[in-house]
Amino acid sequence: MTRVTPVGCLTHKIGGHTACMLAAVWPKIDAHKTQLNVDMDHHLKGTNMKKRVLLFALLIAAMAVPALAQVKLGVTGGATLSDLHVKNLSNSLSLSDRSAFRAGLVAELPLSNALSLQVEGAYSQKGALIASSEPGDENLDASIRSAYIEVPVLLKATLKKGQWQPFLIAGPVVALPVDVDMRVENAGFTLQGDMDFLTKSPDFGLIGGGGIAYSFDRLTLYGEARNFFGLADIFKAGEVPITDGTVNDSVILEEDSEKNRGFQLSVGVLFQL
């Protein structure tokens, strides 16, 4: 059994883890007339409300038709540098960036001359590298390796129109974990364990960044840099069995605040419909 120290140790752990109702009494006939009037009034109001909703929906659809003609669809991909923000990280542990990649689909819907909505669906790898300074653990290397399906919904502000178009992006993102594990390497052994059962879902956060696009004909090429700030705690307390098939051990996570953080550098291509 791996030794437990405050937060996140691999010696070890990764996360120091009436309302009153009044009624009046009237003669029966008056009550019957009143109820009939109320029912008729509700029916008329309901009919009018349905008409308003229908007209509103038709108006939105009519407004969306010209916008849909300007929708752009494409693909995006690039590198990620991910890390974990741990509230009570042990002094004997240090975290560093894990380099990985992301790739997915992107759609851009114009809202005005300078604003558009950028929606993505991407596979994104995250996690962190972990090192320990505990006596005897100087050669120990560990990592949390995670993969998520991200759905960012970003407001994109184009700062200058033309062939070259600098822009800013910002908005929320929801991410669903698809694979999370831990890897520990020490003295020639590599132990690995599944962390899916301790991973909370969904993760959500905020994205902010910017980039530049180059447009010609119906094609747009772009590059962008963005930061991801996780707002949700991603792990529950528990024990993670790790093994290489021969050697068995475990790592204990205690209840703490661990959040995904990271930097993403992407390129993409958009085609106007």
pLDDT score of 27 = 38
Give the separation between CA 114 and CA 137, rounded to whole angstroms: 54
Give the CA distances from residue 218 to residues 12, 71, 115, 259, 272, in Å, rounded to whole numbers and listed in that order.
55, 11, 18, 40, 5
| Banded pLDDT at 14 (limits 50, 70, 90) | very low
- Count other Cβ atoms within 10 Å, centred on residue 235: 25
User: Taking 60 as the threshold, does the pLDDT of residue 262 lie above it?
Assistant: yes
Average pLDDT over residues 121-136: 88
SS3 readout for the chain: CCCCCCCCECCCECCECCCCCCCCCCCHHHHHHHHHHHHHHHHHHHHHHHHHHHHHHHHHHHHHHHHHCCCEEEEEEEEEEEEEEECCCCCCEEEECEEEEEEEEEEEEECCCCEEEEEEEEEEEEEEEEEECCCCCCCCEEEEEEEEEEEEEEEEEECCCCCEEEEEEEEEEEEEEEEEEEEEEECCEEEEEECHHHECCCEEEEEEEEEEEEEECCEEEEEEEEEEEECCCCECCEEEEEECCCCEEEEEEECCCEEEEEEEEEEEEEEEC
Q: Identify the residue with better confidence: 123 or 258.
A: 123
Question: Can you read off the two tokens belonging to residue 233?
Answer: 């705690």
| pTM of the full structure | 0.72
Q: What is the pLDDT of residues 55-70, one digit of tens each?
A: 655 555 555 555 555 8
Strand-strand pairing, 98-110 and 248-253 = unpaired
HSE-CB of 101 using CA atoms within 13 angstroms: 6
Provide, rounded to the nearest whole percent, the portion of the chain with pLDDT above 90. Answer: 48
Provide, rounded to the nearest whole percent, the portion of the chain with pLDDT above 70. Answer: 73
pLDDT score of 79 = 96
Q: Identify the residue with better confidence: 236 or 253.
A: 236
Share the mean pLDDT of the chain: 79
pLDDT score of 135 = 75
pLDDT score of 257 = 82
Domains of the chain: 71-272 (2.40.160.20)
Closest to 143 (Cα-Cα) out of 155, 156, 126: 126
Contact, 230 vs 264, CB < 8 A?
no
